[in-house]
Structure 1
Amino acid sequence: MTKTLRFALAAPLALALAACGSDAADTGGEIEGDAVAAVPAPEGTQWSDTVTVTDMDGYMIGNPDAPIKLVEYASLTCPTCARFAAEGMEPLISEYVNSGRVSFELRNQIHGPHDLALATLVRCTADEAFIPLSDQVFANQQQVLGPIFENQAAVEQSLNLPPEQRLVRLAEVGGFYDFFAARGLSEDQARECLADEQAYTTIADNSTRQSDELNITGTPTFLINGTAADANTWAALEPILQRAGAR
């Protein structure tokens, strides 16, 4: 087991809360730019239909060549991230992504083993389901995490199992299989994904490496064209997007 994976599988509740809602990473300077023109989507489509898995293991929707590239580092267990999804995703997609001016990429920062299990499950089906499934977790976050908080001893016990069984058992404790089955991911498929130690180790390693390299100290953290935005809510982020040229 790598050092990174041991960290990701450590005390679940402490990790879930420690980095959520932290201040944004240090900003690299003012985010300003000239207004950019809308870019029409291919005929018969809208830009939010276009999904790209990036070389950072993020899932990007929108015009791949959009001049304004918005990245969010999020934890699926983070209430502040859930608030952003509730308040910001609809206007972000309808007014900015579908204009072709802005692309949106969601990347996971892992805050414990239950977060790692959820990040694995939202990757377990078609690429275009990643962001909708993540939004479903955010919208039902208390329901999803309730059994984890109520059964901490069982969660801890699951982490002592062989690697291919750890997240499989944790998902049983959390009731994750029923939640995702109701959203199109069968239990058999979910179990197969969670048993893939190499896959979930890669997610954990990417989270740690990128957090270290980009100074991502908490979630949500937003980057606009590589520069950290001083915002963790939609109300704060939208004016920055506009100053960047999405106007």
Structure 2
Amino acid sequence: MNRIVSVILVGALTMTGAAFANAPESNRAVTNVQLVSSDGAAEAESSGIVEMVMGAEDAPITLIEYASFTCPHCASFQENVFGELKANYIDTGKVKFIFRDVYFDRFGLWASMVARCDGPERFFGIADLLLSKQDEWSRAGDPVAIADALRKTGRLAGIEDAQLQACLRDEDKAKALIKWYQTNAGADDISSTPTLIVNGTKHSNMSYEDLKKILDAELEG
């Protein structure tokens, strides 16, 4: 956890270099994020940042996934585990699912800002698109190319260019998201992704079969 936070603090989220300096104003994303508040929860709330929740509020199991949009294991979890988890546990009222972003790098932050760009109702659909196309946008090239690829992905999700621009250049929200991430990940001692917390107990990445055993054991009580 300390390693991740220190990377962010020393400016891993800062877009630098001639490529960005020469980019048109319309192609720019958040360029420099400074941490200014010691109260991550308050800052997040004041910036309109909310938990991304799917499933019944009164479900007997609460499952939190800590994930990064640039993490290949998270993309694999989305592809190979989440579909069955949703169909068999979330949609049936057994699991309340919470997705919490982790920022290993600036590109994960930008992807989060795109996923959150059109409100909570559309977050999970856009997040699924970003994770399924992770190889395309995360390897697009330099930071400007990656920001442009993220915009293209956002447009595929039906978000207008002007709205995407506003989201990607919202420095106040970027600061709040980082602080929100630090507060949550620090409290739960998150050092890798995906990390799953099932009714308060932390687990590493796993297959659907292994997750099913844990969930069924919780339901049997």
More moved, 215-224 vs 204-213: 204-213
Displacement of 1:64 after TM fit? 0.8
The C-alpha deviation readout for 1:76-101, integer Å capped at 9, x for no partner, is 01111111100112211111011111
Correspondent of 2:198 among 224, 227, 243: 224
Q: Counterpart of 1:245 in 2: which secondary structure?
A: helix
Cα separation, partners in 2 of 1:242 and 1:132, compared to 1, 3 Å: same
1:135-150 to 2 correspondence within 5 Å? Answer: 135-147=128-140, 150=141
Indicate whether 1:193 and 2:167 are aligned.
Answer: yes
Correspondent of 2:100 among 107, 126, 149: 107
* In 2, Cα distance between equivalents of 1:217 and 1:142: 23
The C-alpha deviation readout for 1:179-205, integer Å capped at 9, x for no partner, is 210111111101101111111111111
* In 1, Cα distance between equivalents of 2:82 and 2:204: 18
Q: Is the 8 A contact 2:67 2:195 kept in 1?
A: yes
Cα separation, partners in 2 of 1:201 and 1:116, compared to 1, 3 Å: same
TM-score when scaled to structure 1? 0.68
* In 1, Cα distance between equivalents of 2:14 and 2:208: 31
Correspondent of 2:176 among 179, 197, 202: 202
User: Runs of at least 4 residues of structure 1 off by over 4 A?
Assistant: 2-8
Displacement of 1:171 after TM fit? 1.5
Indicate whether 1:98 and 2:74 are aligned.
Answer: no
Q: Is the 8 A contact 1:8 1:110 kept in 2?
A: no
The code of the aligned residue for 2:158 comes to: G
Which structure 2 residue ranges, 5 or more long, are not aligned? 17-47
* In 1, Cα distance between equivalents of 2:136 and 2:94: 35
Which structure 1 residue ranges, 5 or more long, are not aligned? 13-54, 159-168
* In 2, Cα distance between equivalents of 1:102 and 1:241: 9
Match of residue 241 from structure 1: 215
Question: How many equivalent pairs are there?
Answer: 185
Q: Is the 8 A contact 1:78 1:219 kept in 2?
A: yes
Match of residue 29 from structure 2: none
Q: Is the 8 A contact 2:62 2:96 kept in 1?
A: yes
* In 2, Cα distance between equivalents of 1:170 and 1:137: 12
Q: Counterpart of 1:237 in 2: which secondary structure?
A: helix
Q: Is the 8 A contact 2:84 2:208 kept in 1?
A: no
* In 2, Cα distance between equivalents of 1:135 and 1:225: 24
Displacement of 1:234 after TM fit? 2.5
The C-alpha deviation readout for 1:137-194, integer Å capped at 9, x for no partner, is 11111011121xx32xxx3xx7xxxxxxxxxx9623xx22122101111111011011
Correspondent of 2:79 among 74, 86, 93: 86
Indicate whether 1:9 and 2:13 are aligned.
Answer: yes
* In 2, Cα distance between equivalents of 1:233 and 1:81: 12
Cα separation, partners in 2 of 1:230 and 1:78, compared to 1, 3 Å: closer
Q: Counterpart of 1:235 in 2: which secondary structure?
A: helix
The code of the aligned residue for 2:201 comes to: T
Displacement of 1:245 after TM fit? 0.8
Q: Is the 8 A contact 1:74 1:109 kept in 2?
A: yes
Q: Counterpart of 1:244 in 2: which secondary structure?
A: helix
Cα separation, partners in 2 of 1:144 and 1:170, compared to 1, 3 Å: closer
